[in-house]
Amino acid sequence: MFPITNEQTNFTSVSTADGKTNGPKLSWPDHKRIAVMLTFDFDAEYLRMSRARSKGTSIGFTDLSRGQYGPHEGLARCLDMLDTFGVKGTFFVPGIVVEQYRDCVCQIHERGHELACHGYMHESERGISKEEEIRLLEKSEALLASITGKHPAGHRGPESIIHPFTPELLAERGYLYSSSMKDCDWAYLWKQTDSDGTERQLPLVELPCDITMDDFTYYYFTFSDPAVRSMYTNREVIGNWKDEFDGLAEEGNKIFVLKLHPQMIGRASRIAALGKFIGYMQRHGAWIATCEEVARYVLEQTGKNADMESRNHSADTVSLEKPGTSINSIAPLSSGLPVWPDNKQIAVMLAFDLDAETMWTTRGDGNADHITNLSRGAYGPKQGIPRILDMLDTWKIRATFFIPGIIAEKYPDVVREISRRGHEIGFHGYKHEEFTTTTYEEEDATMHRAESIIRDICGQQLAGHRAPGGVIHDYSLRLFLEHGYIYSSNWRDSDGPFIHKINGKEVPLVELPKDSIFDDTAYDFYTDSAPERYELKSPREMYEIWKEEFDSLAAEGRMINFVLHPQFIGRASRVNMLSDLIGYMLAHGAWMDTNYNVASYILKQKGLKP
């Protein structure tokens, strides 16, 4: 091994090459044209936490739940898809994820996939000390070894961040490879230049990745991050990846590292699209292997494997910590229940958040007196709602409208018309408040106030809750039950309904999850007022994304709960698109009803009474 030297040691990632070779001109096994690694950063909620930390903020319930979609739903699909194609992947796992989702990580290992190091808490801070890095590595290595029985072979810096001392440190600790750099299309060995100018080569392979082959680039969505982005169609994403694969395969002897996240790629339609792409690569000259397999091959071909066997640490060489407490994943009812009415394949709820002006007044960035932005909000009740109601009548289906109390007060005739046409109204705050710091008593009073306003206008008793901004507290479930609600539509970690538990006991409260993939703000939210948002997709692209996800979820017998805003979806072309989608869904096995009716059906199936 190489001793740690002074801080003037300089690392060189790669020597100049002609761009048409694999650096050392490697040829892959069995005359394959390209080495492909399917890598998954299994970060769960810690990806979003670390991004927030790096920006001096914190995540709320919505992003926490989005991250948990990975272990609760996405991972299982990833593993099943890999089994279908008979290929193995590499999963980069932070230590804390091993502690918190140990059962999930054990499943990865049991299915024959590689586990690699990805920090402890997905730390993406720059400038940490070598001593701190060693501490984090030791902790994570022990956790991974407690499952695999050996030292991890590979490392990827969280958010691809590594430090000047990292390469030598990894080599010293027995790692075979790193996968953080973005400077080449081939695998290479790290070089080290000491302060005296002496150059030596580390037995550490770099397997570079790139943002163009990272699902984060196309699918990550959150309003808490200034870098919020639009959703891309699977056609665009897979098209980009296919073009890059074809180009590299044509050059020959390159590598292609897909960097994926179960919370993003693990959605039903996306994993189906990825599977088709894997089949394409298999038919077109790809050697699909784990990062460890590729790294070993590179070391063998470059004559740097003399001490490789000694670097396969057993579990005995690592101080093992006790396994962390595993948090049980939610078991969606769709794994056994419910069977949808009339043998329908999938339950679909069209839910509209009639935020109107409150979407802008609660953004906290000067929109309260921004007359033109407020007028955009008013477009919802003035123009969007009439179109939407007429379209729903055409299809003879009922929807759910989540309406803030203050909007009901301002547009009582709109609320009465929604109710008169047979649609459900659910709770959505009074002023569209994001209850980030409120107490139980304050939120309870707000709920009573909004409920009273809706009841006085149209006579409806509210039975369901969708939090403005997706903010939920530890007391929320109890509060919902006390108000007589039978469902919540706030969690984002499942594709199926589930029954909530309090103190380990099921209560008569159904969760009807939602997600940004079915939220029109991921495609239509545009403003040049701070914080700026530039999401604008065509109705055709929205239809394509929603149809593909519907098809994939219907095949699994799951559910969809839309998050639509009349000020966006209510524009003429988008209402027409939604109408076309409804027709398609009805023709392909959808049961379409209100959140209340779906929740009532599930409670009956489970033998639970409100």
Cβ–Cβ < 8 Å for 178, 166: yes
Q: What is the pLDDT of residue 231?
A: 83
Across the chain, mean pLDDT equals: 88
pLDDT at 42 over 90: yes
Which band of pLDDT confidence, cut at 50, 70 and 90, is reported for residue 7?
very low
The residues that bridge with 150 in the sheet, in sequence order, are 314
State pLDDT tens for residues 597-607: 999 999 999 99
**Mean pLDDT value of segment 516-524:** 92
- pLDDT tens figures, 67-126: 999 999 999 999 999 999 999 999 999 999 999 999 999 999 999 999 999 999 999 888
Region of poorest pLDDT, from 12-26, 136-150, 506-520: 12-26
Chain segment 485-515, per-residue pLDDT in tens: 999 999 999 999 999 999 999 999 999 999 9
pLDDT at residue 22 is higher than 70? no
At residue 306, the pLDDT reads 41
**Which are the contacts of 176, defined by CB distance < 8 A and separation ≥ 6?**
153, 154, 203, 204, 205, 292, 295, 296, 299, 308, 311
pLDDT of residue 56: 77
Query: Is residue 22 within 8 Å of residue 242, measured between CB atoms?
Result: no
Would you give the DSSP letter of residue 564?
Answer: B
Is it the case that residue 428 has pLDDT exceeding 90?
Answer: yes
What pLDDT was estimated at residue 304? 54
Helix (H, G, I), strand (E, B) or coil at 250: helix
* pLDDT value for 364: 56
pLDDT band, residue 314 (cuts 50/70/90): very low
Handedness of CA 108, 114, 119, 122 (dihedral sign): negative
Predicted confidence at residue 53, as pLDDT, reads 83
- pLDDT for 491 equals 96
Q: How confident is the model at residue 309 (pLDDT cuts 50, 70, 90)?
A: very low
What pairs with residue 208 in β-bridges?
none
Q: Is the pTM of this model over 0.95?
A: no
**Given this model, what pLDDT does residue 44 score?**
96
If we measure between CA atoms, which residue out of 453, 507, 504 comes closest to residue 479?
Answer: 507
- Percent of the chain scored above 70 by pLDDT? 87
DSSP state of 531: S
DSSP code, position 123: -
- CB atoms under 10 Å from CB of 444, counted, come to 15
Task: Calculate the CA 250 to chain-centre distance.
Answer: 32
pLDDT of residue 104: 98
Residue type, 122: H
Among 303-312, 316-325, 401-410, which stretch is predicted with the lowest mean pLDDT? 316-325
